[in-house]
Chain A
């Protein structure tokens, strides 16, 4: 069935779509009216925040332009961050490379081919200082894309750097992603558990949070990432139900530690995908805010309205982007960005059009930022709050999606929660089904992609500029880390690592942030710190 989906263009009857289902399989009705929805809505900034978490939304402050960035060495990424800030990016989104995320130094044999490819290679305290050189930590907010156990190490490096610059921790603004499950695609079991025991990852995530709460009141302590879940092909309902179920597990973990809900809930945030089905996506975010608010208020007994705010950063989904006719991706990501704005999200990364080929070039990054600036400054769509609120269609979809989210969350709850379902393999089963279903839908033409399965022109290649890494980047990083380990004072490193190892081994309940920070001060590398914890629980990693 791999022929182009049959397009029926009859000049008498006109062009017609094959079906009227949404991307998530909801049926769009011919027309919506007061029989579908005739409710009233509380103001934006009021519970349950369907219309937005802030009263004035973008009239008070535009969403943050926050493009993920990072490649190669910390020095190269520092240049890129400065470039992005210069052209109008308003927040930093520091992405570490996969080796860093998995707790490996550049010289680890299995890491060598991936160093610096999908993010910045970070290992030492000096790397962190290079990455943020000349960037005012108390004026620009930074998102650090890193999960446990490395979130403890990277956060320690960041805090020590701030102290060294004389910046008070209470003035730091930003986010540590810090989720043990959602920083890698999936979350699939093998990908998330091969390099560190999953229970210890969760424990360290909670340690980081517990440490930050009293010390960094403006810092976001965890960001649960549903974009990586959505990118497997699950639908909008699964995306939200999965991520909110996982967030509930973290909340329970923190409550079990004796932290009152209102001390930490205001600092929990989300990172979501924005797909192409515009109305469905707007409805999804409105429903997500409502479900979260009700959970916090009714299930967890929050009193502070800020605890009930579902603050959402987004990146436009890469799934609908095509390698064929890549310029079409500019149009797609513009519509996705518009959906994110109409939905009242807090920060946006517009995916660059060349993502199906490589990391974005400076030119494609700039275009992505310009896309947001045009929507912000030229279209006027942000001048009123929740502009689609009250639309029969959008309100009906919001209700329908909300109902389905509750139903799926109930199923997950009955199975013991998200983490239990992840360990049982149920989540992975759901993701795999979604992957196959999506592939079938694209093959059969049920899901149309212009230039790919409809209106495709064989042999029509488009030349675009391709991002290229410096050819000796990996070799230099590997050499750097080898020299670093050779040329430092070894006594304090050994002492700090032994101490950390012994604490993990013998005091399993103790918060690990302080011993990790001591190891950073002693100049231990990222992998050395992870290895000290791995060996304490006799954990072996792939070679």
Chain B
């Protein structure tokens, strides 16, 4: 069974949350259980919450340019806590070159402005299913 619990949150001080709120709504309508962590989270706080809540995925959103700094820290923390089975996806205002970098670092999916609902949902479905398959 795919773990349908996930955390969605903004990390750092940027509070542009239009996109994240919309994605949260879409995921809930898709049958996911979304724990909405709001704004001003630290990477440490998000990972701690992920452990406590036994989530299958973490979704984070950026606008101001903090995406590389924070995903790097998130991935390190996930590794340290032996949580590489938790899916990490990200979205927001992220230059194309950094999207590639983030994927190379280990972020499972990155969505940028204008990404369509069905594409986002199907991508997340597929990653979670594949991760579940890998675990078996």
Contact = CB atoms under 8 A, between A and B. Distances in A.
Interface stretch (A207-215, A435-443, A528-536): A435-443
Contacts of A425: none
Contacts of B135: none
Which of B13, B14, B63, B73 has its CB near the most chain A CB atoms (within 10 A)?
B13
Interface string B47-72: 00000000000000001111001100
A185 B16 contact: yes
A188 B17 contact: yes
B118 interface: yes
Contacts of B38: 190
Nearest to B115: A323
Contact of B22 (A104, A110, A184, A439): A439
12 contacts: A98-B13, A99-B13, A110-B42, A113-B13, A113-B70, A117-B14, A357-B93, A357-B96, A436-B25, A439-B26, A466-B95, A542-B42
A466 B15 CA distance: 22
Contact residues on B (Cβ < 8 Å of other chain), bracket = 35 or more
Interface in B1-41: 11-18, 21-22, 25-26, 38-41
Contacts of B16: 185
B9 to A, nearest CB: 11
B39 A191 contact: yes
Interface string A184-225: 111010110011000000000000000000000000000000
B69 to A, nearest CB: 4
A61 to B, nearest CB: 34
Nearest to A98: B13
Given A188-B17, A190-B38, A356 B113 contact: yes
B76 to A, nearest CB: 13
B116 to A, nearest CB: 4
Interface string B94-124: 0111000000000000001110111100000
B22 to A, nearest CB: 4
B72 to A, nearest CB: 10
Contacts of B25: 436, 439
A432 interface: yes
A439 B22 CA distance: 7
B14 A118 contact: yes
A113 B113 contact: no
Contacts of B114: 322-324, 356, 449, 452
B69 A113 contact: yes
B64 A184 contact: no
Interface of B: 11-18, 21-22, 25-26, 38-42, 45, 63-66, 69-70, 73, 93, 95-97, 112-114, 116-119
Nearest to B72: A113
A376 to B, nearest CB: 30
Contacts of B22: 435-436, 439
Which of B12, B18, B25, B112 has its CB near the most chain A CB atoms (within 10 A)?
B18
A114 B14 CA distance: 8
A400 B57 CA distance: 48
Which of B26, B38, B73, B114 has its CB near the most chain A CB atoms (within 10 A)?
B114
A94 B64 CA distance: 17
A439 B21 CA distance: 10
A191 B93 contact: no
B18 A185 contact: yes
A443 B66 contact: no
Contacts of A99: 13
B93 A2 contact: no
B39 to A, nearest CB: 5
> Which 3 pairs between the two chains have the least Cβ-Cβ distance?
A191-B15, A2-B118, A113-B69
A355 B113 CA distance: 11
Which of A111, A191, A436 has its CB near the most chain B CB atoms (within 10 A)?
A191
Contacts of B95: 357-358, 466
Interface in A172-191: 184-186, 188, 190-191
Given A356-B112, A358-B93, 8 more contacts: A2-B118, A110-B12, A113-B69, A117-B66, A118-B64, A322-B113, A323-B113, A474-B69
B13 A102 contact: yes
B66 A190 contact: no
A441 to B, nearest CB: 12
B15 A188 contact: yes
A461 B114 CA distance: 13
Nearest to B66: A113
Nearest to A449: B114
A359 interface: yes
B40 A2 contact: no
A79 B23 CA distance: 39
A113 B44 CA distance: 13
Contacts of A435: 18, 21-22
A118 B62 CA distance: 12
A39 interface: no
A114 B66 contact: yes
A233 interface: yes
A543 interface: yes
B116 A114 contact: no
A326 to B, nearest CB: 10
Contacts of B96: 357, 461
A286 B15 CA distance: 31
A512 to B, nearest CB: 24
A147 interface: no
Contacts of B70: 113
B14 A2 contact: no
Contacts of B26: 439
Given A110-B13, A190-B38, A191-B15, A117 B116 contact: no
Interface in A426-473: 432, 435-436, 439, 443, 449, 452-453, 461, 466, 469
Given A323-B113, A357-B93, A469 B13 contact: no
Contacts of A118: 14, 63-65
